[in-house]
Structure 1
Amino acid sequence: MPNVFFKTIITVLFIVCLNSCAKLPVQSVQLMQQIKDEGQRMHKLNMAYVNMVFEKNNAEIDSFMNKEYIPSMISSMKKSFDENDTKIDMNKQWPQIFPKIVPVVNGVRDSLRMALAENRAKIISKLNEDYEFYRQACDAEIGLLSSATKLNNTTRQIFNTLLTKVSGNKTDLTSLEKKLDGFLQQGESISQKILFLNQAVQSITGNQ
């Protein structure tokens, strides 16, 4: 998974921070800049991965609608007609029935796509938040190394706070694809499927 690399980066940040001293070689600044650049690259990979996973699930909605939802809907309609002793020839009267179910089908499809879009936005937002904390931590350390000044208690506290935000509240994408895979098969109703999706994303981002 792309974001696993951030664990290594965070570890290096702590090591560089703890080893800071009054006189530091220029290589230390260059190393921190390389770490920051690599973090940016990994952030872009994370974003691309999230988009790929959600695009895959979005593409499966049409298949679900055509192969499962619509046939099930028609079957339920036929059953309802039979139970009410309504004699109807679906082959002949389908042209009159079809326009009435199109809005329902489109509404369900739109609801599923909207749920995917909203949850994708939640993860993207959280990833951007995580990366911003990471970037600030890198910039803070680069500034300290560039000035060749020892970390005093105040600057160390500020830096440690940033690192805590990066390491303690980081979005874990390792299970994203697995958790979203097959969400259209979860539950019996559309609302249950959307609820499952919402809960899956919430468990990844930690947002309520």
Structure 2
Amino acid sequence: MPVFFQHQINDHPTGVWKIEETEAFFKDNVPLHREVTHPHKRLQHLAGRFLLRYLFPDFPYELIQIAETRKPYLPGEEYHFSISHSGDYAAAIVSRNNRVGIDAELVREQVGRLIPKFLSDNEKEHLYRGSILEQATLYWTAKESVFKWYGLGGVDFREDILLQRELEGLQVIPCFFTKTAIDLDIHYRRFDHLYLAWIVS
């Protein structure tokens, strides 16, 4: 079953799709509305939109527009949604009433090299409680979900997205986002080599 993970509370279904299908499968179900030249990125693009419809059957994916910040959106915001891709996985979240952001990331060495650019000194101290690369990947994924939730660009991951120590047993990371001066709760899941984080607010 390609649905790798599915979660629903209230009005915001969330899911991860493991891409095992061919491009032809998705094209038969989801039209490609913009040119994507790289074959794997095109497959990810189609899988993400297919997942939106899977999670929310009435979702009008044919109306999706892309903002200057590269955030996909629907005119009139009938639905709020967010999509992410990493390797052979596509993730999505949909809500009628709340802004949402989602990110999925495979554990990869590239994230470790970015630590000085996206983690504050306080956040770096948390890395030494376990696997540095895995913890860094979780924090990167969490911050990406905030960036996507905000959707307006111009975010300094190190200075503007301030993560607190995660709440033990709840799979939640409290966060203060300086751009809007509000506290956010970032929900997350870990699946062996993949991290997923999302926000509904």
TM-score scaled to structure 1, two decimals?
0.22
Give the structure with the larger helix fraction: 1
The higher radius of gyration belongs to: 1
Give the structure with the larger strand fraction: 2
Higher RCO (C-alpha 8 Å, min separation 6): 1
